[in-house]
Structure 1
Amino acid sequence: MMFLVSDIKASFECYGSSYDLEPISYPMINVANILVVEDTLGKRILKKQEHFFEAKFEAEKILGFPSKMVSIGSVSTGAKVVILRGGGIGDLILLLPALRIFKNSLPEKVKLTLATFRNRFDLFEGIDEIDDIIPLPTRMTNILGMDYYVEFSEYLDLFRSSHMTDYYLTLLGFDPYKIEPSFKQPDISKGLSKSQRVLEWFRDLRRYWQKIVYVNTGASDTIRRVPIEVIYEVAAAMTDVAFVISSNVDIENREKPPNVFFLDTRYSLKEYISAIFGSDGVLSSDSSAYHLAAALNKPAVALFGPISSKLRSRYYPTVISLDAEYKGQVCNSPCGLSTATEIDQNYNDSKYDLSKGCPEASLKGTIYSPCLLSIPLDKIVHGLSEILT
C-alpha cells in the first residue's frame, strides 16, 4: 500500500475520478488529502503526476485504519473488508471469480468493498458479492473505520508465473488448485450489453452479413498490439464474414477490404460490451475483448505473444488461444514482458522503455512485437472458422 499527497492546492484527474487536494501540514493533518493506492499503481501515478509524492508514515497508528488481512480465518462476523485493485478491464474480469469465491467463504454479514477505477465501476453492475464500490485512488477517509484491507502488489514472481485468477486466489488465502476450474470462469451482467445505438447498428449490418466478428487490435501497452494490416489479411481471406473494428482516424483513411467496418465504441464501456455481445465471435489481441467475450459466454480467438495464454485464458472454455512460437535474435516467446513489470524491467542490465516496443521489435525497426506478427494467417482463419460454425 502507498500513500500519495500533493505539494500544491489543485484538482487532479486520475482514472476517471477528480480529486481536489491540498498539501498536508503538521500537526493537524487532514487525512482527506491523502490518497491510498496499491504499490504498483502508486509507482505509475508518481511517474505521471509531477505534483504527487509519496508520504511515508505508520498508518496503523491512525485511529480506524484497517489492518492487513492475513487470513480468511481472521475475519470475524460483521467485519468490513476493502479490496484495492485497479488495472485494465481484463485484470478486473479475472478478479471477478476470486471475489465471488472470497465473499462466499467469509463469515455472515461481512461487508465487502472494492476500491477500483471509477471508469470501471460498470463492470461490477449486478455483482451481489460486492456490497460497495469506491474509487481508486481512494481518500484515506473512505477506508477509515474498515477492519481489513487486501491488495495485490506482493509476490510479483508468482504473478508472472501463475494464471491471474489463481494469483488473486492465493493472495486471498486460497489454494487455487483445490478449486474447480468452472468456478474460475467469469460472468458479467447482460445489462451491460444493452446499448441501443450499438445493437441497432448491428441489426442494420446483419441485413447484409450473416456472420460478424468484432475485432480489437489494441492493448494497454504497445508490445501486445496487433497491426491493422493483420486484420485486413484475415478479412481478405474470409470474404463472407463482416469484421467490425472500433473506429480510429488513422486506419479509417487506409484502403480496406469491403468486409471491414468501423464502429466507434472507444468512449463507452457499455457500447464496447454491447458490440462484443452483438457479434458472432471476437478476434482479439491479448487485451480486454476476449476477457469480456468469455464473461458473456461469447466465442473468441485471442492472439498471444509476450504473455502465455496459460496465464490468462486457461479457464475460458469459449476462447481459442493462439500462442506465438517465435525464436528471435534476442528473445523467444513468451518473453513475459508486460506493463506489470515495465517499471522494474531491465534489458541488458539497463532500463528499457516498453512504450517503444519490445527489444526484438526495436532490433527489427518496428513497434509491433515480432512474435505476434509470426502467428500464421491460416491459424487465425482456422480459429475463426471454428468459432463461427
Structure 2
Amino acid sequence: MVLGGIGRLRKYLAASKEEAVSGEKAFLDETMRHFVKSCQDRKTFPRELFHSLQLWGDELARLAFQPEALRLYDEAIDLGVRRYPELYLRVLVGKARVFNSLGRFREARALMISLAEHSYLITDRNLIPEILFTLSESSLQEGDIEYYRELLFRGLRFFHTNIEKRRMFIDQIRRTYRYTHRVLIDRRIMRTDKILFSLHWIHFLVQDRYLFRLTRLSTITRYFLLGAVYYLNYIKPRPLERSPAHFGDGFSRNDARPHRIDPRSSVHRASPSYSPILITRAMGGIGDFLMMMPALHAMKKRNINREIHLAIPRQYFSLFQNNDMRLIDIENEPFDRRSYGKWFNLSDCPASRVENRTAPRVRTNRIDIFAKALGLDWGTIRRMDHRPPYSVSEEERELRSAFWKYHGLEGKTVVGIQIRTEEVYRDYPHMEKLAHEISGHRKVLAFDAEIIPGYNGSNIIKVEGLPIRHAFALAAGCNLLIAPDSAFVHLAAALDIPCIAIYGPIDGKVRTRHYPNCKLIDARDRFGCLPCWRSRETPCRLTGMRGSVCLAAISVSEIEKVVNELSPIQGCG
C-alpha cells in the first residue's frame, strides 16, 4: 500500500496536481499511524512495518518534509528496526541525509562514520555508496578534507554494482581535483586507486560516446570494471595498509576506526602462524548460523593451535555456547581486525553473492558456500560432516521434561511446527489450517519468536517468545518437525529428527541436500518457473504480489499425507 501510494504521489507531482498530492500525503500519513498503532496494540512488529516507515521517511525527505522524515526514522528505531540490519542501515542513511540537508553535519557524520569505520557491519553492499557519499559530504562541510578525499576513492574501491553510483564518485573526484591528470600524478593517492580511477574514467568515456554504445563496447568495459573491483575485494584482496598520518595511530586505510584493544592481550603477542582467526557476521539469521557451523567445526579441527574469534550480534551467542570459540559482540565490543592472522567477513554474505550470481541455476548448498568462503578446500568440504554440530544441554533436557510433564505429553506423538519465517515470500500460508488438521490425533507445538495469534485448539500448544535454546530444546523432543525454509529445517538435521520442509521460490533440493531425514515438499511439478530464487524485494512474476503462489498451491492434505507416513500416532491424550 505504501509503495502504491508513493507511486501515485509522484504521478500527481509530475502532473502538478497539488490538491491530489496533499490528499495522497494525508492518506499515507494516516495509514502509517494506523499501522504503527495496530502493531503496538498487538505487540508484534513485523519487517513490513519498518520497511514502510523507512520508505515513507525517504519519500518525505525527498519532498523536503525533513522534520516529519526524522520523526519516522526515530519511530522505526524506537520500535526495534535493529532486528532487521539492512533496514536499520537504510534508516540511518536516510537520517544522516536529512541531517546534511538541515546543516547538522556533525550529527550526520557521527551516524555514518560508525558504519564506514566498521565495514563488517554493512550487511548490504548496495548501501556502501550511500554511506560513503553521505559521510563524504558531511566530512567536507566539517573541514576534514583528507578524509573526504579518502572516502571518494573508497567508493570506487568497495564492490557494488550500481554503475551510476560509481559515476557519482568519479564526477566528485574530478570536481575535487579539477583535472583528471592531477589524480594520476598526485603522490598521496595509492597506485591501486589510480588504476581504479582510470578504469572508471575509461568506462564512462566509452559509455558517453554514441558510436561506442552502438558497438556494445560500454557493456564490455562495464563487466571488465566490475570484474576488476570484484577481484580486488574477494579473490585477491590487497593487504591492509597504514593510512596517511592524518588518521593517526590505530587507523587503517580500509577501516578508519580508532581501534581500542588491550595491548597486553594475546592477540598482539601472538606470532602470525598462531595468531587468532577472526570471522565477522553482522546479521542473522538463525538458519544461516546453523549452516555455518559445519565449516566452523572443520576450520577448528584444521587450526587446533589457533583461537577462532567469532564476532556476531549478542542475541545469537547462545547458538554457539558449546563451541570452542571466543564470541565477540560485533555491535558493542571493540576489536582490531588487523591484529588477526586471518579475517573472514561474512557480513557481505558469500551465500547471497553466489546465489544471486548463479540464479536460477543455483547448484551449491549454503553449507558448502560458507565453507569455501572460510578458506576450506574442496577435499575438506567433501569430507566434513554437513550436519550442524548443535546439541541440547542436560539443563535444557530437564526443562523439556518439565514442559512435557506439565502438558501431559509423555507417551504422545508430538509434532513441532515452525509457523513462519522472517520473510513473507517463504511462508506457507496454510500453516494454521495444517496445525488444526494434524492435531486431531497428535499433540502439536506451534513455535514462534513472537506472540502467536490464532492456533487455538485443544491439542495445540503455543510456544511463543522463548529464548532460542529453550525453543530448540522443546523442538528436540518432538517426533516430527514441520517447517518452511527456515531454522527448524537445519535444527532437525542437527538433531536427527524427521522433518517435513515446505519450500517455494528457493530450491529445497539444494538447501536440504545433506539432510537424509528431511522430506521435501514443493510445487515444482505444477510450476515450471520453480525454483526462481527470487528475494523479498522481488514480487512473484506470476502474480506481482509479495506472497508466493507456489507455496499457496501446496494443499494441506498433501502435507498431512506425509505427516501420517512419518509420525506413527500414539494417542493425543
Contact 1:306 1:371 in 2 (8 A): yes
Query: Superposed, which structure 2 residues align to 1:204-219 within 5 Å?
Result: 204-207=406-409, 210-219=412-421
Shift of 1:238: 5.6
Amino acid at match of 1:218: R
Distance, in Å, in 2 between the alignment partners of 1:243 and 1:213 is 5
Equivalent position of 1:4 in the other structure: none
Equivalent position of 2:516 in the other structure: 317
Shift of 1:334: 1.3
Correspondent of 1:295 among 494, 503, 511? 494
Larger helix share, 1 or 2: 2
Equivalent position of 1:270 in the other structure: 469
Equivalent position of 2:70 in the other structure: none
Deviations 1:202-248 (A, max 9, x none): 32333587111111121121101122x44424532562111121366
Correspondent of 1:283 among 469, 479, 482? 482
Q: What is the DSSP-based 3-state SS (H/G/I as helix, E as strand, rest coil) of the residue aligned with 2:535?
A: coil
Correspondent of 2:276 among 55, 72, 80? 80
Distance, in Å, in 1 between the alignment partners of 2:420 and 2:367 is 22
Distance, in Å, in 2 between the alignment partners of 1:193 and 1:317 is 29
Correspondent of 2:553 among 374, 381, 384? 374
Distance, in Å, in 1 between the alignment partners of 2:372 and 2:389 is 21
Larger strand share, 1 or 2: 1
Contact 2:439 2:460 in 1 (8 A): no
Correspondent of 1:40 among 123, 129, 150? 123
Equivalent position of 1:184 in the other structure: 386
Shift of 1:139: 6.0
Equivalent position of 1:118 in the other structure: 314
Distance, in Å, in 1 between the alignment partners of 2:541 and 2:334 is 40
Contact 1:283 1:301 in 2 (8 A): yes
Equivalent position of 1:148 in the other structure: 342
Q: What is the DSSP-based 3-state SS (H/G/I as helix, E as strand, rest coil) of the residue aligned with 2:368?
A: helix
Distance, in Å, in 2 between the alignment partners of 1:188 and 1:25 is 42
2:459 equivalent to 1:259: yes
Larger radius of gyration: 2
Larger relative contact order (Cα-Cα within 8 Å, sequence gap ≥ 6): 1
Question: Structure 1 vs Structure 2: percent identity of aligned residues?
Answer: 20
Amino acid at match of 1:158: V
Distance, in Å, in 2 between the alignment partners of 1:198 and 1:143 is 40
Distance, in Å, in 2 between the alignment partners of 1:95 and 1:156 is 13
Amino acid at match of 2:424: T
Equivalent position of 1:202 in the other structure: 404
CA shift in 2, pair 1:368/1:243, >3 Å: farther
Distance, in Å, in 1 between the alignment partners of 2:292 and 2:438 is 36
CA shift in 2, pair 1:191/1:53, >3 Å: farther
Q: What is the DSSP-based 3-state SS (H/G/I as helix, E as strand, rest coil) of the residue aligned with 1:100?
A: helix
Amino acid at match of 1:261: I
Q: What is the DSSP-based 3-state SS (H/G/I as helix, E as strand, rest coil) of the residue aligned with 1:246?
A: strand
Q: What is the DSSP-based 3-state SS (H/G/I as helix, E as strand, rest coil) of the residue aligned with 1:77?
A: coil
Distance, in Å, in 2 between the alignment partners of 1:134 and 1:46 is 27
Shift of 1:306: 1.0
Equivalent position of 1:333 in the other structure: 530
Q: What is the DSSP-based 3-state SS (H/G/I as helix, E as strand, rest coil) of the residue aligned with 2:492?
A: helix
* Structure 2 residue ranges without an equivalent (≥5): 1-73, 86-105, 137-146, 158-239, 244-248, 255-270, 357-361, 569-573
Q: TM-score of the superposition, structure 2-length normalised?
A: 0.51
Correspondent of 1:307 among 487, 493, 506? 506
**How many matched pairs?**
340
Distance, in Å, in 1 between the alignment partners of 2:253 and 2:115 is 19
Amino acid at match of 2:277: V
CA shift in 2, pair 1:31/1:368, >3 Å: closer
Q: What is the DSSP-based 3-state SS (H/G/I as helix, E as strand, rest coil) of the residue aligned with 1:215?
A: strand
Distance, in Å, in 1 between the alignment partners of 2:351 and 2:285 is 19
Distance, in Å, in 1 between the alignment partners of 2:471 and 2:128 is 26
Equivalent position of 1:7 in the other structure: none
Correspondent of 1:60 among 233, 238, 241? 241
Q: What is the DSSP-based 3-state SS (H/G/I as helix, E as strand, rest coil) of the residue aligned with 2:123?
A: helix
CA shift in 2, pair 1:295/1:67, >3 Å: farther
Equivalent position of 1:383 in the other structure: 562
Equivalent position of 1:89 in the other structure: 286
Distance, in Å, in 2 between the alignment partners of 1:310 and 1:64 is 47
Deviates more, 1:202-211 or 1:85-94: 202-211
Amino acid at match of 1:370: V
Contact 1:67 1:147 in 2 (8 A): no
Q: Alpha carbon RMSD of aligned pairs, Å?
A: 4.2
Contact 1:209 1:242 in 2 (8 A): no
